[in-house]
Amino acid sequence: MRIRVDRERCVGAGMCVLTAADYFEQDDEDGRVVLLADEAEDCDTAIADAAALCPAGAITLR
Amino acid sequence: MSASETVPYGIPLDRETPFDPPAAVMALHRGAEMRRLRYHPNGDLGWLVTSHRLARKVLADPRFSARLGSPVQVPIPMPGIEAYADFEGDFPATPGMFIEMDPPDHTRLRRKLTGVFTVKRMKALEPRIERHVQDRLDALAAGPRPADLVAQFAVPVPSMMICELLGVPYERRDRFEADSRALFTIDAGAGAKEAAMNALFAFLGELAAAKRAAPTDDLLSDLAADPDLSEAEVAGMAALLLIAGHETTAKMLALGTMALLENRDQWDLLRGRPDLMAGAVEELLRYLTIIHTGLIRQVKTDFEFEGHQIKAREYVTVSVQTANRDEAHFIEPDRLDVTADAKGHLTFGHGVHQCLGQQLARMEMRIAFAGLIGRLPGLRLAVPAHEVPLVTGQSFYGVAELPVTW
């Protein structure tokens, strides 16, 4: 699946980094999401969790 | 039939047991996901949302505004409430207090701070938190027994840490501890709260001015140097961090310790399995839900939501404590199980206002609980559990004292 992030929606809560650190990082300056890889296996539950837990709905999976 | 006879007024706070939400609140939750609630003795109506599903929906929906039209911010009977016409007027947001604001005002201020509270930055603080925890444990272990875990451990650890991060001298805590307590004491009265807020602004404003003249390596110096922020905004942001940064974690550390001691198998399990600690902290956050008065929003326009007609100026309270005990989302939610999957708990909120300091709180709790269990494995309550004084009259639920021995 493809991972997309919307940095305008991101509120820098860090839930994605806490949940799937291999795919998400926070910008050192403003704390907003930085995508480390935009492709993941469909069965990767950590990615699905990260998208579901994002408080701002900034992560979409396709 | 008048609405005031059938619609409950306010959220019940009195508990039957220390770790479970009041039975009356759980009964409201079982009856409906969302219901009418009276917010004021004059009969003003609003809403109470109790399910996990709808709690998430409301908190993520910008139509539910964090800008409240009244200084009376909780639907709880309190002295002097009659003085406020609850649904009228426009109560201005306190400068810098971005939890009371909506985007884009909220976004502008929050983004000044998100870089400071990232997972990575909090991880880098680990040795400093560890040092505070060990210092407090040294003092505790060397002192008399029984000891009060609240005063000796649960309050000082997060308080010292947020002071260090902000650049507020911990020795001057007499200038902020009583005032911040007044702000989250439900029935302190609007006058006392305003005075406390003014005193905090004065103290932090002075400190910010000093740091503007002679910067030090801390957050308050950075905020004070930011040309985009007014002096009042800097003081307000610092006040928010100071208030939110110590009392919440303090309540969790003391109540969490009590919950583990009263579920001794869970305490013992963590003794042998430090790898369980991260999950245990999430489970304690879910199970204890110290945000017992809920999260409150106000709608600014009429709209339909989940089959209900919501009217402009009505309040909506999201009951986090029932959402975190919702069987539709969590397995066996009324049991404390440090190995359970507590993912998706709403103790830090949801939506754009989700707790900015949550990664700091997590780090503090993991290190503090692990330190306590490692250093004093034989810790136990020094009084019967039912004699531990509970605090229900503040925005954050917890214990006033926790007498322990070992």
* Model pLDDT for residues B355-373, shown as the tens digit of each residue: 999 999 999 999 999 999 9
Helix, strand, coil content of chain A in percent (nearest 5):
25, 25, 55
Please, what are the domains in chain B? 3-405 (1.10.630.10)
> What pLDDT, on the 0 to 100 scale, is given for residue B90?
65
Q: Which residues of B touch A29 (CB under 8 A)?
A: 115
Q: Which residues of A touch B354 (CB under 8 A)?
A: 11, 13, 15, 55-56
Average pLDDT, chain B: 93
Closest CA to B100 of B292, B355, B402, B353: B353
pLDDT above 90: residue B84: no
Query: Looking at the partner chain, which of A26, A32, A49 has a beta carbon nearest the beta carbon of B119?
Result: A26
Asked if A12's CB is within 8 angstroms of B117's CB, the reply is: yes
Looking only at the bridges linking them, the beta strands covering B295-299 and B64-65 are: antiparallel
The model's pTM is 0.96
Task: Could you list the beta-strand ranges (E) of B222-301.
Answer: 295-299
Average pLDDT over residues B233-242: 97
Distance between CA atoms of A15 and A30, rounded to whole angstroms? 15
Average pLDDT over residues B60-84: 78
Query: Looking at the partner chain, which of B114, B117, B343 has a beta carbon nearest the beta carbon of A32?
Result: B114
B256 close to B284: Cβ distance less than 8 angstroms: yes
SS3 B35: strand
Asked if B354's CB is within 8 angstroms of A31's CB, the reply is: no
pLDDT above 60: residue B97: yes
> What pLDDT, on the 0 to 100 scale, is given for residue B4?
43
Asked if A28's CB is within 8 angstroms of B356's CB, the reply is: no
> What pLDDT, on the 0 to 100 scale, is given for residue B88?
56
Looking only at the bridges linking them, the beta strands covering B34-38 and B308-310 are: unpaired
pLDDT above 70: residue B17: yes
Q: How far is B143 from chain A (nearest CA, A)?
A: 37
- CATH number 3.30.70.20 given to A3-61: yes
> What pLDDT, on the 0 to 100 scale, is given for residue B42?
79
pLDDT above 80: residue B91: no
Query: Looking at the partner chain, which of A18, A21, A30 has a beta carbon nearest the beta carbon of B115?
Result: A30
Looking only at the bridges linking them, the beta strands covering B315-318 and B45-49 are: parallel
Average pLDDT over residues A21-39: 96
Query: Looking at the partner chain, which of A12, A18, A57 has a beta carbon nearest the beta carbon of B114?
Result: A12
